[in-house]
Amino acid sequence: MKVNGKDYLTVWMEGSSVMTINQPMLPHRFEVVALPTHRDTAEAIKTMVVRGAGAIGAAAGYGMAQVFAEAPADEPDRSAYIQDGYETLKNTRPTARDLFYSIDRVRAAADAAAEARTIAAEYIEAGRRIGEIGAELITDSMTVLTHCNAGWLAFVDWGSALAPIYFAHRAGRKVSVIADETRPRCQGSRLTAWELQQEGIPVKIIADNAAGLLMRRGEIDLVITGADRIAANGDVANKIGTYEKALCAKASGVPFYVAAPLSTFDLDCPDGNGIPIEQRGDEEVLYATGLTDDGKFTRVRLAPEGVEAINFAFDITPAELIDGIITERGVIKPVIDEIDKVAVR
């Protein structure tokens, strides 16, 4: 994807360093950061310097390759180092299925670095195919609602939920986007709006609680979100607030689709009740960070002193609220039989 006319991936390797776009700086500053060790990569995942299901998966895979490259040659120190590095990466983001998928694959491979590069390339191809397939759902002059950021910043390239929009736009169809701000980290207003602006796609930001009104008024034609983990029965874990959007869509007769690669499916998890839900720090809800008029980043407190917050990062959308899941192998129904035929084992 392009930034100011130049092609970028979200995550890549240069030498022994993982390179990634510093997402907390966006949209106000575009910055590429180098992560020289697996501990740096793990910290970047944990602090959401790199975020989004596919991007986390690729970064974690590269991080696992770093573990192997850093490990001492002699046993038993080598095995102990590899196990410790694996646990460090594993414990960064508990909900994201792609993280576990990638580090397990790299750990089991004969050539860790080659496997990590293969996984990243597979994410690029999956995003491209999701875009091609999902674009068929988008007709001329549609308005599409998105929640959080599931574009190329959240993948390696193309994205999941935004990929169909990119392909429809490049095919010449008039498509506009309504982006939920997605509190508390505002990935919709900061990242999705910035991505779409780079692509030249019309986008408007709304408060999270405004989507239901717009659906009821007939001003949204389609909802597409991403996913961080999909259970064997089709229940979906995604950014907090997705469940509410699905309920509003069902009540208003608006089609609701999820876009995700097959690596996001977790056949070992029978339903959404078994998906671990990450709970993040209170400060994300109690404070906001942004750019002042004189160009300085600053943090301000929104809530009264002494008040605590509840900050779940994800929620579960039941399969019965989802019209279809857009994968690199087609649009499937969120039911056990269809998922079982295509999911990665």
Show Cβ contacts of residue 197 under 8 Å, excluding neighbours closer than 6 positions: 27, 203
What are the distances in angstroms from CA 80 to CA 59, 60, 83, 120?
A: 22, 19, 5, 26
Pick the closest to residue 166 from 189, 138, 186, 141 (CA basis).
138
Secondary structure in 3-state letters for 266-333: ECCCCCHHHCCCCECCCHHHHEEEEECCCCCEEEEECCCCCCCCCCECEEEECHHHCCEEEECCEEEC
Task: Determine the residue type at 161.
Answer: A
- From the CA atom positions of the chain, what is the Rg in Å? 19
Q: Which residues pair with 230 in a beta bridge?
A: 236, 265
Q: What angle do CA 207, 212, 217 make, to 5 degrees?
A: 110
- Count the alpha carbons within 13 Å of 190 in the hemisphere toward its beta carbon: 21
Please say if 315 is a catalytic residue.
Answer: no
Amino acid symbol at 154: A
CA distances from 141 to 169, 182, 215, 339 (A): 10, 24, 16, 32
Answer whether 96's CB lies under 8 Å from 57's CB. Answer: yes
The residue annotated as part of the active site, out of 228, 235, 266, 323, is 228
Residue 319 has φ and ψ, to the nearest 5°, of: -55, -35
What does 90-112 look like in DSSP terms, one character per residue?
HTS-SS-HHHHHHHHHHHHSSSH
Residue type, 283: E
Could you give the CA distance from residue 222 to residue 315 in angstroms, rounded to a whole number? 20
The set of catalytic residues is 228
